[in-house]
Structure 1
Amino acid sequence: MAEAHQAVAFQFTVTPDGIDLHLSHEALRQVYLSGLSHDLSRLFGGFLPVGPAGFMVVVVSYMSYNKFKQLDPSLGLMARLGHYVPISKYMSTDSQRVVGGVLVGTGVWVTIIMIMRNVLKSLLSWHGWMEARHGTMSWSTKLWLVLVKIFSGRKPMLYSFQNSLPRLPVPPIKDTCRRYLESVRPLMDDEQFHRMKGLAEDFEKNLGPRLQWYLKLKSWWASNYVSDWWEEYIYLRGRGPIMVNSNYYAMDFLYVFPTSIQAARAGNAIHAIMLYRRRLDRAQIKPLMLLHTIPMCSAQYERVFNTTRVPGVETDTLQHVNESKHIVVYHKGRYFKVWMFYDGRLLLPREIEQQMERILADQSEPLPGEEKLAALTAGERWGQHNTAGDGGGGGVC
């Protein structure tokens, strides 16, 4: 609970007279920083719903209409833009008009994108489809799904919907207090619950509105008012063991055994994973969509690879590398750095298999402290200066 208080830069204590609040200027700073945490490379989230091909269609159609119809839909804007292009022996007056047409067409293209994004964001803010009985669908829901499908574009990329997803709404204080009392009722006797109910009513009338104002301010600035706090104070500051609680793993085959050679299976699995990472880097993976229409957030996909959790005494930190050319293989207490590319080309499964065979044949002893290093993630993190981090999909056992 103390960590949660620090998360919002609020400090309050429960006294016999009610709740005493101490507010620092750090609150506004945290609200400001929460809106700057997004990666600028995802600012446009692809070209939803008009892709690069749509850009060419808009520009060419605009200029063709102007040329053959002898009309200027821009009301002279194209000519004015072309006028400011310096004339040289390489650029004639017609070339100026072409440049002006490209600029105006680009503006039209960007305008179409912004309009369709905002319309899609308004459509996704409607949640009436969630209230429908399972197996049935009203005409309003069907019409809504058709509109969402239209404004989603033909071939959306992985991050195409990021700027069209609605913001997480801040629940009313009354509903928050009601749900809290419902959750703690089975854990308290009548006397304790009566006291907690009084504190909740006092919070709802006095302290709650002030905190609610700061929370709404953050929700207007950040796309999700709780995700950064959850990551920092629940995930990274959690002192429990990393193993089982946070780590994930994958297997190559479950019911099919194409070969019993360990190195061959590892080579095929690693190559397939690297191909998936290539598609992920190029945002060529189709975003997860409910009912094949309603998009889900794809922000966490970026951390599947090239991301590690660096341990700390009080809190861990996430380190992300934009471009990584190797993987780490753990075998018999030893860590091996294996390069995945040669002369800019991804290694073939057979070439990776040869690397695995060399590791399996290596009879060297682990370095001092290397063999038991991974065991540190299985223990409590508080009070320890652990040196083992939580890998982001870069290791193979």
Structure 2
Amino acid sequence: MLEPKQDRSAEELGESLVNEATMKEIGQTEPDGGEASLLLPVPDLIDSVRRHLNAQKPILDDDQFRKTELLSHFFKYGIGKDLHEELGTLDELHQDTSYISAMWIEAFLALRDSIAFHSNAAPAFQANPKPEQNDQLTRVTNLTISSIQLLKTFRAGSLEPEVMHLYPEKTDNEQFKKLIQFISPDLVCMAASVVSTYPLDMSQFYRLFNTTHIPLNKDDLVTDESRCTFWCYEMEMFMSLMSWMIMVIS
């Protein structure tokens, strides 16, 4: 999450909320640049069965492997063929994201376990190196303003792409960013991987805000960008920042 440009006390932050609305938005690159090349193709059925058998062979005896091979044959030319055709149709209907996205999200939404790091992603923040910035009110105010800055930048289409650099000292620089802009969006991910740099899929970034999980028979995520409330949770209590204050900041 972005940090405010200046460290200020809670009182100073409270007095300057209106001024925060005029802060210059950061980022230069469109967030969807090159994401077409991030879409996963539907894997070939015959190749998938072959790879499955290759993975099973070292751990099965001859009799077990023959049975697995026979079942794989029936699957490949039976229900597997039908399922593969349905998967291809589903992929054609959702060209904006990978075929696996909905299934992947639903798998997490269907979890009913307690929230834990082993099954749910969660941000963790280090303490500010300046002790005076670590009191609760200042910390929450900083994070609130930073969150709104991130939201504004994303909706303006100016958020810099998320990229994983295996060797940041070589590729995380302005020279690489300028060079990669001249590569076709369909090839940019392949080209970046040559130098061990991997753009990340940002198609779900819009769910970072204004989104809630509704646990019904079929779980769903609902996004409503018209809402304007900031919720805080502490000691089993929910608190909301008033809508008019959010509007002033944003």
Q: TM-score range by the shorter chain?
A: 0.5 to 0.7
How far has the Cα of 1:300 moved from its partner?
1.0
SS of the residue 1:225 aligns to? coil
**Structure 2 counterparts to residues 1-397 of structure 1, below 5 A:** 156-162=29-35, 164-165=36-37, 167-185=39-57, 188=60, 190-223=62-95, 224-232=98-106, 234-244=107-117, 245-251=119-125, 253=127, 255-289=129-163, 292=177, 293=180, 294=188, 296-312=200-216, 314-339=217-242, 341-342=244-245, 344-346=247-249
Structure 2 segments unaligned to the other structure (5+ residues) = 1-27, 165-170, 172-176, 181-187, 189-198
Deviations 1:172-223 (A, max 9, x none): 2221012223444566555433311211123224444443333333333322
The one of the two structures with greater contact order (alpha-carbon pairs below 8 A, sep at least 6) is: 2
The alignment covers a number of residue pairs equal to 190
C-alpha distance in structure 1 between counterparts of 2:246 and 2:148, whole Å: 16
Q: Once structures 1 and 2 are overlaid, which stretch shifts more, 250-259 or 198-207?
A: 250-259
Deviations 1:86-137 (A, max 9, x none): xxxxxxxxxxxxxxxxxxxxxxxxxxxxxxxxxxxxxxxxxxxxxxxxxxxx
TM-score normalised per structure 1? 0.41
C-alpha distance in structure 1 between counterparts of 2:245 and 2:79, whole Å: 61
How far has the Cα of 1:303 moved from its partner?
0.8
SS of the residue 2:238 aligns to? strand
Of structures 1 and 2, the larger Rg is shown by: 1
Identify the residue that residue 168 of structure 2 maps to in structure 1.
Answer: none
Does structure 2 retain, via aligned residues, the 8 Å contact 1:252–1:269?
Answer: no
How far has the Cα of 1:256 moved from its partner?
4.7
Structure 1 residues 158 and 218, CA gap change in structure 2 (3 angstroms)? same
Does structure 1 retain, via aligned residues, the 8 Å contact 2:109–2:220?
Answer: yes
Structure 1 segments unaligned to the other structure (5+ residues) = 1-154, 348-397
Deviations 1:269-289 (A, max 9, x none): 221222112212222202235
Deviations 1:227-268 (A, max 9, x none): 223323x22223433332124124263555343422122212
How far has the Cα of 1:329 moved from its partner?
1.8
Structure 1 residues 319 and 196, CA gap change in structure 2 (3 angstroms)? same
